[in-house]
Every structure is written in structure tokens, then in C-alpha cells.
Structure 1
Amino acid sequence: MSGAFEAEALPIETRAALALQLRRAGVRNVAVMRAIERAPRELFSPHRFRDLSNRNLALPIECGQTMPSSAELGRWLEALGVEPSHRVLEVGSGSGYGAAVLAQLGREILSLERYETLAIEAQSRLTSLAISNAQVVFADGLAREPALGLFDRIILHMCFEETPATALERLAPGGVMVFGKFLPRAASGRRRARLVRLERAGSGFNEIDRGECRHAAALSGRALAL
């Protein structure tokens, strides 16, 4: 795990407020909390929103995408349960903030992003922070090609109607995948989704509901214009 940033760069009051936000969201994993404290979220935020970067808010980024709040990311990472020996696949790099946090938790992080603009900028941020065990690649994370091998942990920052089969094929024995899963559409037409932790156990899978999820619907293919 690499990175040239320290939690001490944040004022004590800011660190305390962040810790409170994480606890209120139900995050209890000390490693996850520490990793989020250490990652400089302001460096991954658009300039016009940097004064909001340490507040518990989702922030709009380029290509019509959104960077999740620290608390929401914490919930997902706690559900994922990354260990220091793990190889991790992230689909939906966004600004690179998630990869920066994951880099402190796992051995190797491969992050795939369908928007080339986001992928280039996210990798540039990781490089500037001397993060050497995480890489952002411009690719369709939901495609079967290229062959990427197996991963101990997979995180998909999006919601699906059904469990994504292509991602399951990349999950190692005993591995865990987290993603959003839509509930049946309500009479009002509103879509709701749940955060799912899927555990690979032998020849089967165990699916665990980890609470509400507000991520956007999954999009496949590499974006051609952005």
C-alpha cells in the first residue's frame, strides 16, 4: 500500500467531523475509517467544489458523474471487507477518490472507467500522490474482454436489475463483490435500490442486503465522446 499523504494534513476539527459522519453512517471498520481520513478528498474534487470536499456531500464531477460522499463510500468499503493481501477490481473510477482509499486497504487495485476523460485525470491524481499499487484504466468494466484474471474483491459503483454475470466470472473462490441492486419498481414509478454484498461460497453464492443504495444505473460500453 502506497501514498504520500497523511491524515495529519487535515485539521483536528475536520478529522473529528469526518469520523462522526462515518460513524453515523454505520461505518465501524477502523481500517476503512483511517483510509478515508488519509485520502485528500479535496484533490479529487472539482475546483469549484473544493470548499465542500470535507463535508458529507456527494459532489458532481465531469462527464455527468458524481463522486460519492465519504460516508457512502465508507459503507460500501466496509461491506466489501478488503484485506491487505487482496487483489481488488473497481468498476467506475470516477475522480479516482475510491481507488485512492482502496490503495491503502488492498495489495493491488485495478480501477476501470468508461469515460476516457475521467480515467486520464484519475490516474494523474494517483500518480501525483505517489500511489503505486492502484491503476486506473479506460475500459468497459462490464465487458468480458480483456481477460483480467480473478479478484478477491470487486466493487461496482452502480446499480443493476440482476447480479452482473461478467463480474461474477472475475470473482475468485471465497471472494466478495458489492454492488447496487434495484428493487421492483413501485406503483409510483420510483426506483429504489439496495447495497448488496455477494459472497462466493463453493459452487454457490450468498447474497446479503447491506441497506439503502443511491447509485445510478449501470452503463456498459466505453463512452465514445468523453
Structure 2
Amino acid sequence: MSSETQADRESFAAFLLRMRGRGLEDKALIAAMEATPRRGFIPGQWQAHAWSDRMLPIECGEAIEGADFQAKILASLALEPSHRVLEIGTGSGFSAAVIGRLAARVLTVERYRTLATNARQRLEALGITNVSVRHMDGVNGVQSEGPFDRIVVWAAFEGLPRTFVDQLASGGVLIAPIGPPEGLQHMARLTKVGSRFDREDIATTRLQPLASGVAAAI
């Protein structure tokens, strides 16, 4: 993992100021993010922007969401030390690493083998042992592993993801973007109540639609 620089510390301090300005002062989350060297999850030419709110390119033509957006979503998960968490879309592995510092167990799935392999290596380098990275199609979740207390999906559904209801524990929370593939989507916080969801929209975004299958070559 890349070592932290003075510029990184200054960039993280600026990120903290932005978070405080938006009322996000979750001390456990901030500590978990600070303990996770974000630049090590981002290709070299973009590392100076690691703590910015810019979406940055990573391997396989994918991207990592801006630090501010990730913090907002992770804070909205309201993670507790006993939670079992499912993440769809491992990407660089940064969010899985942060969640792993806050929850009991994390299963993160990724359709690109290269991303899954790189994320696994980064987590091992940080000594994070409660996160399992799986290379697989996550479009229908991981039905054999539930129920989960929290599910977060970093790709968009066109409609309410009802196939995930049964994978959530009672009172569990799923956060995912819902909306058209080419338009503005709402980041929805869905709380399981019985066999349905209570929905609260917490942000707007534009993320790639959730793709089925695993990538053929990478």
C-alpha cells in the first residue's frame, strides 16, 4: 500500500471540513476512513485526488465514487459491530475495507476478476480479515448467504430491488441507486418492514446500471 504524504493529510483534513459542514460527524466512520489509506486503492495518476469528491477511474474501465459521496452512504448504513454486510460492486475495495472496520463480517462481490483480485490483495495488506471478496455475478445478491443486516449496492436498479427483500434481516437496511440507466437516479435507503421496504431517498447520483454475468476476460 502507498504511504501517506503531507498532501494526503491536508486533503483528508479538507475532506473532514466538508463533512462537518454537511453535518456528518460519525466519529467511528471517520476513524475507519482515516485508518484506510485511500490513495492505495486508486491508480497512481489519480492518487493526489484520493480524498476529493471526484469520481476517479480505476481498473477495468470502472470508477470509485468521490470520498464525500461514499462517506454519506456509509454513514446512512448506520453500521454496528455485530452487523453482517453484503456489498455488491467491490470496485477498488476501499468501501469494503472501511465497512470491515465497523461491522462483524462483510461479503463483497465483484464481476471483474481483476478488481476482485486487487481488492483482496489490498485488504490482506491492511490485515483486514473479516472481509470476503468473491468474484461472481451479484445481480440477484447472494441468496445462499443471507440474511444480512445491511446491503449496499454501487450500481443502479431501474426499479425497486424486490429480490433482495428476503436477503435482509428484519429491520435490515439496503442502500442502492434506483432510476434510469442514462438519467438521474435516487440513492434510496430501504428498510425492511415485514415483507416490504420503507423507502427514504438520501441523495441523487448517476451510476452504471447493475450488470449481470461476470466479465469474460478481466
Is the structural similarity TM-score above 0.5? Answer: yes
Q: Any idea what the Cα deviations from partners look like across 1:111-159, whole Å, max 9, x if unmatched?
A: 0001011001100110011101112110111236661121000000011
Paired AA for residue 222 in structure 1: V
Secondary structure of the residue aligned to 1:158 is: coil
Cα distance in 2 for partners of 1:206, 1:30 equals: 27
- Segment of structure 1 superposing worse, 44-53 or 24-33: 24-33
What is aligned with 1:48? Answer: 45
1:85 is matched with 82
Gaps in structure 1 of 5+ consecutive residues = none
Question: Shift of residue 174 of structure 1?
Answer: 1.1
TM-score computed with the length of structure 2 as normaliser = 0.90
Match of 1:121 among 118, 121, 130: 118
How many angstroms does 1:73 deviate by?
Answer: 0.3
User: Match of 2:156, SS?
Assistant: strand
Which sections of structure 2, spanning at least 5 residues, go unmatched?
none
Q: Is the 8 A contact 1:94 1:118 kept in 2?
A: yes
Query: What is the rounded CA distance, in whole Å, between the counterparts of 2:46 and 2:118 in structure 1?
Result: 17
* 8 Å contact kept, 2:113–2:215: yes
Name the stretch that deviates more: 55-64 or 39-48. Answer: 55-64
Identity in percent: 36
**Cα deviation, residue 58, structure 1:** 1.6
- 2:100 is aligned to 103
Change (3 A) 1:129 1:43: same
Residue 33 of structure 1 and its aligned partner are, at CA, apart by 2.1
Choose which of 16, 19, 24 in structure 2 pairs with 1:19.
Answer: 16
Structure 1: distance between partners of 2:5 and 2:43: 22
Moved more, 135-144 or 116-125: 135-144
* Count of matched residue positions in the alignment of Structure 1 and Structure 2: 216
- Tell me the residue number matched to 1:170: 167
Quick one: which of 65, 73, 76 aligns to 1:76?
73
Task: Sort the Cα spacing of 1:145 and 1:174 in 2 relative to 1 into closer, same or farther, 3 A.
Answer: closer
RMSD between superposed Cα atoms in Å: 2.4
Per the alignment, residue 193 of structure 1 pairs with 185
| Structure with bigger RCO (C-alpha 8 Å, 6+ apart) | 1
- What is the aligned counterpart of 1:223 among 211, 215, 218? 215
Aligned to 1:160: 157
Equivalents in 2 of 1:116, 1:216: separation in Å?
Answer: 18
One-letter amino acid matched to 2:176: F
**1:11–1:157 Cα change, 3 Å:** closer
CA distance in 2, matches of 1:149, 1:74: 25
Q: For 1:8 and 1:48, how far apart are their aligned partners in 2?
A: 15
Letter in 1 for 2:197: F
Residues 10-66 of structure 1: CA deviation (Å, up to 9, x unaligned):
865343212013234553322222222221101101122122223332210111110
Q: 1:174 is matched by which residue type in structure 2?
A: G
Match of 2:58 in 1: 61
SS of residue paired to 1:93: coil
Amino acid at match of 1:122: A
Given residue 214 of structure 1, which amino acid in structure 2 is its aligned partner? R
